[in-house]
Structure 1
Amino acid sequence: MILISIFATFFKLGCIAFGGPAAHIALFRKTFVDEKQWLTDNEFSQIMAVAQFMPGPASSQIGISLGLHKAGQIGGFVAWLGFTLPTAIVLIAIAQGMLLVDTNNIEPVINGLKLATAAIVLHAVSSMFKSFCRDTLTIAICLTTALLMVLLDSIWLQFILLLVAAACAAIFRKSKQNTHAQQSVSLPISRLAFRTSLLLFASLMIILPVASYYFSQPLLDLFARFFRVGATVFGGGHVVLPMLQQEMVTTGWVTENAFLAGYGITQAMPGPIFTFAAFLGAVNQLAIPSAIAAMIALIAIFSPSFLLINICFFYWRKLSENAAIRASLIGINAAVVGLLLAAFYQPIFISSVDSVLQLIAFTLLTALVFWQKVPVWLIVILAGGCGYFWQFLQ
């Protein structure tokens, strides 16, 4: 059955997807374009480009869109559930008992996983560079984006660079665009789903803050806070940290020690970093049952993604027929490659390789990934195991 296949595939990816959005995108492309061939490289690039412009976790939104593309709305939900569940279960279990992990014991394993992540991301950057950076303009956009991301530090920089890349490509590539556009990706979103999603998103953004202020219900306030974060944070990943800290720590909902411990543990987990919401819900200081609060926080922070996907992709086929928009996608995809290149260098490579032995290990893992004869999940397990046993050889 297709839904079982979707869940099993994303659950497996959720168990091995270390390294944040860059590594997730690499795994998605390798799995669904190269291996399973659920969609073409062009269709995947369109989904990837649109997801970069939506607030929320980009890699999870790509995963939801892939499930939606394959099996409708329920397919999108099943894909999200499979990808999110492994990390969420572990984080909730740790949070309920506040089992503080001994970092001295897990640090060698994490170091091994970081090396595997670096190899996977480098392969993704290489293959995507070949696909999306084929002329002087796109190569310039890619390299400029990567350089600025490494040199500058701004929450809004990624979004600004994507806009500039889109504008440059629309201006300089529009006249060169073939009048016969490539097949636009089509997601099975009905008019009812579009209208319902638009109404819900607009209503919840307005009603939730007002309702939580006047009714002072902890569960309602919890949902409102995490929904607001999921609907407004651009860049995903680590960008969500200051927003969650503002919403949860400064208000006394979660202690600072619990927040920092949970964030550190989340870094060692595979899957989307937004699952950190489940941990925060579980360690709340409001006497809300931890399992209930964790599920509410998790659903709330990802809910905007489902609504925004229905809103953005409903008219996508018509919008993509516009020559300027088709051209802008070329710039966006080149910029995304630049973002991945910057993410590979910093923090992935910088934090993973700080010795000659680690450089050798990274080179060997990279050779395995580029060889493409060994499954990625096996490479991840191998790297983590080698990191664990390496501590006994030192």
Structure 2
Amino acid sequence: MQKIDSSSSAFKEIILSFLKLGLTSFGGPIAHIGYFHHEFVIKKKWIDEKTFVELTALCQFLPGPASSQLGMAIGYIRGKFWGSLIAWLLFTLPSAILMLAVYIGISGFANDKTEFIIQGLQIAAVTIVLHAVANMAIRFSNTAAKASISVFTMVACILIPFTFLQVILILLSGILGKFIFTEAESADANTANASVKIPKSSIVMFVLFFMLLLLLPIFSRIYENTSLSIFESFYTAGSLVFGGGHVVLPFLESEVVSRFGVSQDVFMAGYGAAQAVPGPLFAFSSYLGAAVTKEYMYLHSSLALTAIFLPSFLLILAALPVWEKWKSYAFMKSAMIAINACVVGILAAALYQPIWSHSIRNKEDFSLMVLLFLALQFWKLPSWSVIILAVGVKTAFHFIS
């Protein structure tokens, strides 16, 4: 691990670097990791290649948005607690403000005359999630065993409408992976009994993470306060989603649409718009928080945004001091092979319901989606251009017809 620098010049560099990335990092989580590598390993040399790879691996092990967690970790190395907080805030704030503006625009002008814009955003969302599923399947479901885990997970999620089913499937997959992917452990068998001394600061952060996860649902049901319920819902989503990005969709859809009564059209339009802005996809929470009630739009937007990222912040602060030992546990590697395959299945189920079933309404929508997928998968167009194309085509069809 690199030496921590908490000087004033370091904070200035953190502010400038992450604000720039927050304004320019299009392309989703994988692209963000590439931006971070170029900025902090190649250009600024804040960390070396080995440390960057180790941090990326750590963030893949933790629930939550991996790219945002990587930014938090780099900020921590550069400026401890405040460096991590500033890194997250400036990487996230531009996209959060843009998503809030999108909701204000949609809620202020949405009517029959602008419905085609929402439909275009929905079709773009289908295309982008399909692209994510296809590429994740190629990488994480490329053997019979992995594909079986993915397919069984997908079928279970489609047939069994249970809110926490995804969490149960992830845990079961991790346990199963320990026994069927033993080849991942063979190279590290000598580390299986390594001891880990956990610092007090890590214990405090872990305890706080689990206390909030357990107590927030209880208090939100006792007091029946909308603001508290929003914070609890988004904190839970940020705590239980492995794979980040698109995988959070079924969790948020269940909570925001079913629990808070946000319309499916508004939900999917926002999700489509989230693909076209820079920064983390979890900034979609800013849009959703505002959509719950117009009366306290700005408060709820801020609460949702803070709550969905708070678990990642606590886990990064807890895990960084013990990561050097934790990563040596061979069983983590075999478990993550199965968990990654499970995540593919969860995302595939979300693609079918609610995304595909709600957004692809006729043969014209299907044809447009196929062409957009071709552009995204094979022509390598950026995701923001797919959004523009989808809305542009639906707009043209609207005025022609």
Aligned-partner Cα distance in 2 for 1:153–1:371:
34
Pick one of 329, 354, 362 that aligns with 2:369.
362
Shift of 1:125: 1.9
- 1:274 and 2:285 are equivalent in the alignment: yes
Shift of 1:36: 6.1
- Identity across the alignment (%): 23
Tell me, yes or no, if the aligned pair for 2:124 and 2:386 is still in contact at 8 Å.
yes
Tell me, yes or no, if the aligned pair for 1:230 and 1:305 is still in contact at 8 Å.
no
1:127 is matched with which residue? Answer: 135
**CA shift in 2, pair 1:41/1:125, >3 Å:** farther
- 1:27 and 2:34 are equivalent in the alignment: no
Aligned-partner Cα distance in 1 for 2:158–2:74:
36
Gaps spanning 5+ residues in structure 2: where?
1-12, 42-48, 77-83, 190-197, 242-247, 275-280
- 1:352 and 2:359 are equivalent in the alignment: yes
**CA shift in 2, pair 1:90/1:102, >3 Å:** closer
2:81 is matched with which residue? Answer: none
Shift of 1:50: 2.2
- 1:76 and 2:76 are equivalent in the alignment: no
Q: Equivalences for 1:1-394 in 2 at 5 Å?
A: 3-11=15-23, 27-33=28-34, 47-51=59-63, 58=64, 61-72=65-76, 73=84, 74-91=86-103, 93=104, 100-175=108-183, 177-180=185-188, 194=202, 197-198=205-206, 200-201=208-209, 224-233=228-237, 234=240, 236-237=248-249, 239-240=251-252, 260=262, 265-269=266-270, 270=274, 271-272=281-282, 273-275=284-286, 276-280=288-292, 283-284=295-296, 291=298, 295-296=302-303, 298-300=305-307, 302-312=309-319, 314-394=321-401
Tell me, yes or no, if the aligned pair for 2:256 and 2:262 is still in contact at 8 Å.
no
Shift of 1:282: 5.4
- TM-score relative to the length of structure 2: 0.69
Aligned-partner Cα distance in 1 for 2:24–2:293:
25
Gaps spanning 5+ residues in structure 1: where?
17-25, 52-57, 182-189, 250-258, 285-289
Shift of 1:143: 1.4
SS of residue in 2 equivalent to 1:268: helix
Amino acid at match of 1:150: I
Deviations 1:83-128 (A, max 9, x none): 423213444x569xxx554332332122222222222222222222
Aligned-partner Cα distance in 1 for 2:218–2:387:
46
Aligned-partner Cα distance in 2 for 1:66–1:47:
6
**CA shift in 2, pair 1:142/1:300, >3 Å:** closer
Tell me, yes or no, if the aligned pair for 1:277 and 1:297 is still in contact at 8 Å.
yes
Query: Number of paired residues?
Result: 343
Shift of 1:377: 1.1
Amino acid at match of 1:361: L
Tell me, yes or no, if the aligned pair for 1:222 and 1:297 is still in contact at 8 Å.
no
SS of residue in 2 equivalent to 1:349: helix
Amino acid at match of 2:349: A
Deviations 1:124-172 (A, max 9, x none): 2222222222322111111111121222211011011111111111011
Aligned-partner Cα distance in 2 for 1:359–1:42:
41
Aligned-partner Cα distance in 2 for 1:246–1:108:
24
Deviations 1:29-66 (A, max 9, x none): 24434996689899657534521xxxxxx4xx334203
Aligned-partner Cα distance in 2 for 1:125–1:145:
13
**CA shift in 2, pair 1:159/1:351, >3 Å:** same
Aligned-partner Cα distance in 1 for 2:292–2:14:
33
